[in-house]
Amino acid sequence: MDDFYREFILDHYKRPRNFGTLEDPDVTHEEDNPLCGDRIRIDLKLREGHVADVRFTGQGCAISQAAASLLTEKIKGASLERVRGFSKEEMLEILGVPLSPIRLKCGLLALKVLKTGLYGLQRWPGEEG
Amino acid sequence: MIRAGGAMTARSRGGRSPAFEVERIRQDFPVLGEKIRGKPLVYLDNAATSQKPHVVIDTIRQFLSTYNSNVHRGVHQLSERATEAYEQARTRVQGFINAAESREIIFVRGTTEAINLVAQSYGRTHIGTGDEIVISAMEHHSNIVPWQILCEQTGAVLRVVPINDDGEMLLDEYVTLLTPRTRLVAVAHVSNALGTINPVREVIRLARRQGVPVLVDGAQAVPHLKVDVRELDCDFYAFSGHKVFGPTGIGVLYGRARLLEAMPPYQGGGDMIKSVTFAKTVYNDLPFKFEAGTPHIGGVIGLGAALDYLDGVGLDRVTAYEDELLVHATEALSAIPGVRIIGTAKEKASVVSFVVDGVHAHDIGTVLDHEGIAIRAGHHCAMPVMQRFGVPATARASLAFYNTREEVDALVRGIHKVIEMFV
Ligand SMILES: Cc1ncc(COP(=O)(O)O)c(C=O)c1O
């Protein structure tokens, strides 16, 4: 059991970091995983090619919510290049627990929301044209 | 069936019957001796699928190892034996649900296929634009989607009988939904997500009063209650072998002969024809008209063995014992702070759906799994029920007659552990 719900996962679940919403975000995106009922929304504020601020809200299992919390910590202040390069493998490594195929969706939902939100973006803020 | 608050339990209803020998019965089910992560398996996911007794496993093994062959076509002895066993099982099913004739028993893959058969064969010939099909708000997806497909094909309209906060069908609303445009009613006998036992007798009476046929989805009823299709007076009754201690891949559609006879085939192929020429094909008689292709012979024979086994245990005793387990589980789970039971109908089968404040059902499922306890977590193929109760998912413990009070107590301890971890 302790292998699965490691202390830091439970900690992020019970005390999520960067939880909430941003006023006037540059990017906001929400998705759910209808099979589980997990739902994540991520708001981003961008400045000079960096993630100036990030918040998430959501509901769902400990894995999905802890993953979102952990992800926001990783990308806050990071360059967009770094965020784009952030891979599934990296996300799973951060979670550090072996996930069954069904639970994989939970673990990767936050990253999917982030990527879809960012790639859906047409124009970076501050860029003219 | 329990009544609210456990005011009337099996005991008060029928006097004290001789003790149900659950420990002896457990010996009949090899899986129950398994260990999960070193802990004894506590299998509480019977609504998803039930475990199989030795006699079912042995019957299938015997078929495969001593008289395996095809049915209804060989002139040789093995085929005769297989055909005889196959048709005996049909008679077995007929007796089990008290159908008038064995040709009213159609073997299909499961409840899902039975309902699709009725939707496509009966539905496409009897239901048209503007006609209405009535279902309830607590149906399994397999008693929703086939009707939605039919509605798309024909322009018919689906009407849904609402349920109250206890998960009971609102009969008053049902009556108002029965209109001159109603062509079919399709309801679950027992809800897999809530455990509710629907008043199907009354539902059928009201529909038939105005000549509307009724299909009953009996997937969750047959393992728990004595079912008598003639007493119910239903037109179609569907159930799955794997939920009544038989194999997967086999199920039953009961249909009134008069209706089945008038229905076109669902699938074409071997076995369902009398003669074929390129000019004209003559369909076979019932039940073969609806059994195209080589059937799941071992499955049918295994299902027959399962029903024999269940008869041997005695469905009345099963129902009474499961009632006691349900009362115990309901009381014990309700007593845990933060636990809310979803589905509190007065008439219930031994299914307990619940949510825990602040914990997602999948986390409950995972923690319990690490204790060797198998439950279901999710939407139970009844997303509209989840929406009705405003929850993304529930955890569900579904009990069979081989479960024990001690297993329910293990579940309760497991839930305490869940709360300790997550809240
Ligand atoms: C009420 C109900 N109806 C239909 C079904 C579908 O049964 P099957 O998947 O065996 O076809 C189920 C199975 O979960 C059920 O619980």
Report pLDDT digits (tens) over B105-121.
999 999 999 999 999 99
Q: A89-127: string of b/e by CB count within 10 Å (b at 16+)?
A: eebbebbeeebeeebebbbbbbbbbbbebbeeeeeeeee
Q: Please, which pLDDT band fits residue B12 given cuts at 50, 70 and 90? A: very low
Which of A1, A14, A61 is facing B362, going by the closest CB pair?
Answer: A61
Spans of all domains in chain B = 10-52+314-422, 57-311
> What percent of chain B lies above the pLDDT cut of 70?
96
Q: Does residue B417 carry a pLDDT above 60?
A: yes
Would residue A44 count as lying in a domain? Answer: yes
Distances (CA, A) of A43 to A32, A73, A83, A114, B363: 15, 13, 14, 9, 26
* Helix pair A88-95, A62-75: axis angle to 10 deg: 110
Q: What is the pLDDT averaged over residues B257-283?
A: 93
Q: Which residues of A touch B360 (CB under 8 A)?
A: 36-38, 59-62, 64
Provide the residue range defining the domain that includes A106. 3-119
DSSP assignment string, B302-370: HHHHHHHHHHHH-HHHHHHHHHHHHHHHHHHHHTSTTEEEE---SSB-SEEEEEETTB-HHHHHHHHHH
Secondary structure letter of residue B418 according to DSSP: H
Q: Looking at A106-115, B115-124, B271-280, B342-351, which range is the least confident one?
A: B271-280
Has residue A29 got a pLDDT over 60?
yes
Higher pLDDT, B91 or B12: B91
What is the pLDDT confidence band of residue A2, given thresholds at 50, 70 and 90? Answer: low
> What is the spatial distance between Cα B274 and Cα B261, in angstroms, rounded to a whole number?
15
User: Are the C-beta atoms of B134 and B176 separated by less than 8 Å?
Assistant: no
pLDDT computed for residue B15 by the predictor: 47
Residues, chain A, total?
129
CATH for B10-52+314-422 (2.60.40.10, 3.90.1150.10, 3.40.630.30, 3.30.390.50): 3.90.1150.10
Is the residue at A96 inside a domain? yes
Please count the structural domains in chain A.
1
CATH of the domain at A61: 3.90.1010.10
CB of B142 closer than 6 A to ligand 1? yes
Q: What is the pLDDT of residue A125?
A: 54
| pLDDT given for residue B7 in this prediction | 39
Asked whether residue B411 carries a pLDDT value surpassing 90, the answer given is yes
In angstroms, the CA B280 to CA A31 distance is 54
Q: Is A128 part of a structural domain of the chain? A: no
Q: Of B363, B379, B393, which is closest to A62 when you measure between CB atoms?
A: B363
Average of per-residue pLDDT across B118-136? 98
- Which of B46, B107, B112, B198 has most ligand 1 atoms within 8 Å of CB, for mutation? B112
- Read off the amino acid at residue B117: L
Task: Calculate what percentage of chain A has a pLDDT beyond 90.
Answer: 74
Residue B10 pLDDT class (50, 70, 90 cuts): very low
Instruction: Judge whether A126 lies within some domain.
Output: no
| CA gap A100, B364 in Å, rounded | 15
Q: Which of the four pLDDT bands, split at 50, 70 and 90, describes residue A1?
A: low
Is the pLDDT assigned to residue A115 strictly greater than 60? yes
Strand duo B35-36 + B39-40: pairing = antiparallel
The CATH number of B57-311 is 3.40.640.10
Ligand 1 site, residue B192, Cβ cutoff 6 A: yes
pLDDT higher than threshold 70 for residue A128: no
Chain A residue with CA closest to B395: the answer is A36
State the DSSP code for B220: T
* Structure confidence at residue A100 (pLDDT): 86
Length of chain B: 423
CA B417 to CA B371: how far, in whole Å?
Answer: 10
- Interval B45-54: pLDDT, tens: 999 999 999 9
Q: Does ligand 1 come within 6 angstroms of the Cβ of B140?
A: yes
pLDDT of residue B73: 79
Contact A62 B360 (CB under 8 A): yes
User: Sorting pLDDT into bands at 50, 70 and 90, what band is B14?
Assistant: very low
Give the integer Cα–Cα distance in Å for B411 and B395: 11
Q: How many angstroms does the Cα of residue B219 sit away from the middle of ligand 1?
A: 5
- List residues of B with catalytic annotation: 381
Q: What confidence score (pLDDT) does residue A126 get? A: 53
Cβ of residue B112 lying under 6 Å from some atom of ligand 1: yes
pTM above 0.90? yes
Task: Write down the residue that tokens 């002969």 correspond to.
Answer: B257
Residue the block writes with tokens 């529909």: B207
How much is the pLDDT for A75? 97
| Phi, psi dihedral angles at B99 (to 5 degrees) | -75, 155
